Structure 1
Amino acid sequence: MTDHGDRTSVTRHHDQTNAVELLDEVPLSEAEAEYVEAARAANTLRGYRSDWAEFTGWCTSHGDLHVLPAAASTITGYLSDLAKAGAKVGTMSRRLSAIKFVHQLQDLPDPTANARVVAVWEGIRRTHGAPPNQSAPLMPPELFDVLAACPTTKMWKTKGRAPEPDLAGHRDKALLLVGFVAALRRSELAALRIEDIADHPNGLVLALPRSKTNQTGEHIELVVLPRAGNADRCPVTALHRWLEVAGAPTDGPAFRPVGKSNTALPRALHPESINTLIQRAVARAGIDPTHYSAHSLRAGFITYAHLRGATDRAIAHQTRHQSLATLGGYVRIHNAWTDNAATTLGL
């Protein structure tokens, strides 16, 4: 770790990201430290830590520039270098957020609000802005192929060991169907707990105490899982079957890792591992997984529901989008082919 004298240093030689690390020589009580840690999601803090370390490294390599407080010219020089190097606008925006966050923790003025920084940043966005990369929607009929490719029986090479239900296959099938029908984010799939799942005459109701748009838990968001006519494609059946083969737990994480011995481990899946599981499931079906991720399930629900005639308001009721305009980004590619004269040219 490089220490820049009296300036804040946030890189530490341990694995966990800690919001308190972003504070240097600021006395906090134990209770205060816990609340500072809770002020941002763990993934956000991990990103801020990485971004701040990258910024301080750039300052060191450019004449040991002062980082706290950072001068407007330092930030604009940093942004200009990033832009010229081909950094994405989204990446630069996150770096600015990290710089702002650290200054706020030190009770310093926000340098990113300086007129010089604002002007340069606006110019970069206009010059280098591009639509964000979106995950391909995973929906029928491809979704059905992916579900069919999930293994249900575990065969052992060990002599005398009888076949068993393939826990990973059953988990993946439940993960795919719940993620698609409930239109959940990967963080919500990872955080889903068994005690938050309630029976209903029409299926199941998932109570989400927190989400991306409800980070403080001021209200519980409800998502429904209706029963499907086809048992092989029913999220309720798949979830019940997974929990059954996992040992029928009554509380704790709904989706768990599966060990090499074909047993469910007593911890939740990490959100990032859900991306990997989805891509592996897609690859098992013989589909190139490059453009798929956990978000493909949520995107697939929105796109498929739209194609089936659901209104934006009905879709938002399940996805919990606060802005109906946001839904348009998911379906614009498919809408481009609807009632388009280019498809009738007969060439």
Structure 2
Amino acid sequence: MSDGLSHERAPAATPAGLLPVTDLDDSPLSAEEIAYGQASKASATIEAYRTDWQEFCDWCAREHHAPAPAPPAAVSGYLTALARAGAKVSTMSRRMAAIRFFHALQDLPDPTSPARVTTVWEGIRRVHGAPPDQAPPLMPPQLFDLVAATATTRDFRTRPSEPDLAGARDRALLLVGFFSALRCSELCALTVDNVLPHERGRTLVIPSSKTNQRGEQTELVVLPYASHPDACPVRALDAWLQLSGITEGPLLRRVSTGNRPAPTGLHRASVNRRITELAAAAGHAEQGYSPHSLRAGFVTWAHLRGASDREIAAQTRHRSLASVGGYVRVQTAWSSNAATNMGL
């Protein structure tokens, strides 16, 4: 890259992220302003944007483009390179969002809006567009196979055997995750204070969510008692809390090698790892279950049990009933279908 171009891209060349922001318009931000700025988007979104922005900067460096302000040729060329490499449309869409975000952060014009970029982007979507990947639904009986694969006892060389805390947590994770139909981020963010008692089970308070990021309205999710103790999310959750001694803070936590609960909660990567390991232990490794499989499993299972889309949405908090219908997989395509009752 030439010296002139290096100088041109200097505003965007700070380490991937530009957050926390200290100066946007030659006027230093206060600590409170920085805190509110960081809270403007979910931390997971910001981290994803950091990574995406750095990749764009790296590509611009190789191709001798300025990343900020990025010319239309840089953005359209970057999208074309991604499409050539086989990137998914959803991935490219997120990369564009990151580029927009970091330009807005510096009060620069949106480089994804010029006609050259929008035309190329529309062509990429038409040529490479595909239905979004859907997590395979994890539901009975496979769900209970994973529950049965959790550990129950922990053996030690220097002290008596103890109930396996990680196993107790995993049972709560699986059953609460399924019955509550929470998104993985919501499940990981639960605290003890979010769990309220109810005569029919528990009520989960969700302060903010993907569709309620500012927490403008409190969302409630029910966690009912199940008739079979081994399939009951409430009993599994109570057992985990009793064994771990957790009375405040994060609800679902990591467990140390010494069989003690950590002060920090789980994150998506650890949830994904546990589900993958339990699926392998239960003989279902080939299914490719992920954290989202619990939510998908709830929707699919509820539909198979005769629940209406509106009833399902009351638990999943989908604002669109069409979104609920999108979860109904191949398992339900043959039920209540006119093509199977043609009398021919």
* Matches for 1:208-287 after TM superposition, within 5 Å: 208-247=206-245, 249-287=246-284
The residue aligned with 2:169 is 171
Amino acid at match of 1:57: D
* Matches for 1:74-85 after TM superposition, within 5 Å: 74-85=74-85
- What secondary structure, in the 3-state scheme, does the structure 1 residue paired with 2:12 have? coil
The residue aligned with 1:40 is 41
Provide closer, same or farther for how the CA distance between residues 9 and 24 of structure 1 changes in structure 2, counting only shifts above 3 A. farther
Task: Select which of 15, 28, 41 maps to 1:12.
Answer: 15
Amino acid at match of 2:162: E
Provide closer, same or farther for how the CA distance between residues 280 and 17 of structure 1 changes in structure 2, counting only shifts above 3 A. farther
The residue aligned with 2:332 is 335
1:100 and 1:9 map into 2 onto residues whose CA distance is 13
Q: Deviations over 1:256-295 (max 9, x none)?
A: 1000011111111122211111111212212115511110
1:202 and 1:227 map into 2 onto residues whose CA distance is 6
Q: Deviations over 1:315-345 (max 9, x none)?
A: 000000011101122113223232569989x
User: Structure 1 residue 207: deviation in Å?
Assistant: 0.5
Q: Are the equivalent residues in 1 in contact too, given 2:252–2:265 (CA < 8 A)?
A: yes
Provide closer, same or farther for how the CA distance between residues 76 and 322 of structure 1 changes in structure 2, counting only shifts above 3 A. same
Q: Are the equivalent residues in 1 in contact too, given 2:194–2:204 (CA < 8 A)?
A: yes
The residue aligned with 2:182 is 184
Amino acid at match of 2:174: L
- What secondary structure, in the 3-state scheme, does the structure 1 residue paired with 2:202 have? strand
1:272 and 1:75 map into 2 onto residues whose CA distance is 30
- Root mean square deviation of aligned Cα: 2.3
2:332 and 2:22 map into 1 onto residues whose CA distance is 47
Amino acid at match of 1:131: P
1:166 and 1:232 map into 2 onto residues whose CA distance is 16
Extract unaligned runs of 5+ from structure 1.
none
User: Structure 1 residue 168: deviation in Å?
Assistant: 0.5
The size of the alignment, in residue pairs, is 337
The residue aligned with 2:100 is 100
- What secondary structure, in the 3-state scheme, does the structure 2 residue paired with 1:75 have? helix
Amino acid at match of 1:43: A
1:281 and 1:197 map into 2 onto residues whose CA distance is 26
- What secondary structure, in the 3-state scheme, does the structure 2 residue paired with 1:112 have? coil
TM-score, structure 1 length as denominator? 0.91
Give identity over the alignment, percent: 54
The residue aligned with 1:51 is 52
1:141 and 1:24 map into 2 onto residues whose CA distance is 58
The residue aligned with 2:73 is 73
1:134 and 1:52 map into 2 onto residues whose CA distance is 26
- What secondary structure, in the 3-state scheme, does the structure 1 residue paired with 2:103 have? helix
1:305 and 1:276 map into 2 onto residues whose CA distance is 26
* Matches for 1:310-325 after TM superposition, within 5 Å: 310-325=307-322
Q: Are the equivalent residues in 2 in contact too, given 1:198–1:206 (CA < 8 A)?
A: yes
User: Structure 1 residue 230: deviation in Å?
Assistant: 0.6
Provide closer, same or farther for how the CA distance between residues 163 and 233 of structure 1 changes in structure 2, counting only shifts above 3 A. same
The residue aligned with 1:302 is 299
Amino acid at match of 1:313: R
The residue aligned with 1:114 is 114
Q: Are the equivalent residues in 2 in contact too, given 1:11–1:49 (CA < 8 A)?
A: no
TM-score, structure 2 length as denominator? 0.92
Q: Are the equivalent residues in 1 in contact too, given 2:165–2:261 (CA < 8 A)?
A: yes
Provide closer, same or farther for how the CA distance between residues 40 and 305 of structure 1 changes in structure 2, counting only shifts above 3 A. same
Extract unaligned runs of 5+ from structure 2.
none
* Deviation larger for 69-78 or 310-319: 69-78
Task: Select which of 174, 197, 200 maps to 1:199.
Answer: 197
1:343 and 1:272 map into 2 onto residues whose CA distance is 42
1:188 and 1:4 map into 2 onto residues whose CA distance is 42
User: Structure 1 residue 28: deviation in Å?
Assistant: 2.3
